Amino acid sequence: MRSSRTLPGLLLAAMLVAPASAVAQSGQELFAFRSGFWMNLHHFLYVAARAANGEADAAREAVAGARADTAGFGSLPAGARVGWERALRFYRDWPGRLDILFDSAMVSHKHELRALADDGDVRRGAIPADLATALAEAAPAYRALW
């Protein structure tokens, strides 16, 4: 005879497996992962700006590491360096001061960036023009180094 303690565990396991098998039978994916250029650039500029600003999370590994991840920056053409620095200043003044998870504008911008093609023109998207300009200016340096 099974222990009464085993029954709740079996019920929980059945509940967790049942939805997954139903999704598998329907042909739908449970998760879809994508690594998009514009989203990655946005996140990199965001953490670099937070580190440069000394925000509360500046000591977190992901944020602190962004400043150190600039090997080869000096070898970029002057135009790419200027574009990157201009974009970083913009991010330091605005997006880098916001909460990327809970600020409604930041969440909206992430959804809009996610929809853009990696080789598309970010300025043709639905994000604000100044944000699109900053991303477009930073793109050559990001493509070359990261």
- Indicate whether 120 pLDDT > 80: yes
* DSSP secondary structure string for all residues of 73-105: GGGS-HHHHHHHHHHHHHHHHTGGGS-TTT-HH
Q: Give the pLDDT of residue 4.
A: 52
CB within 8 Å of 116: residues ≥ 6 apart: 36, 38, 122, 125
Q: pTM here?
A: 0.75
Of 28-42, 101-115, 116-130, the least confident: 28-42
> Given this model, what pLDDT does residue 33 score?
76
Mean pLDDT of 13-37: 67
Selected residue with higher pLDDT from 53 and 26: 53
Which pLDDT score is estimated for 96? 93
Cα 54 to chain centroid, rounded: 20
Q: What is the mean pLDDT of the chain?
A: 84
**Short-list 60, 47, 62, CA closest to 96:** 47
Q: Does the pLDDT value for residue 20 go beyond 70?
A: no
CA distance 107 to 117: 18
Distance CA 23, CA 18 (A): 9
User: Can you give the pLDDT at residue 14?
Assistant: 56
**pLDDT of 2 higher than 80:** no
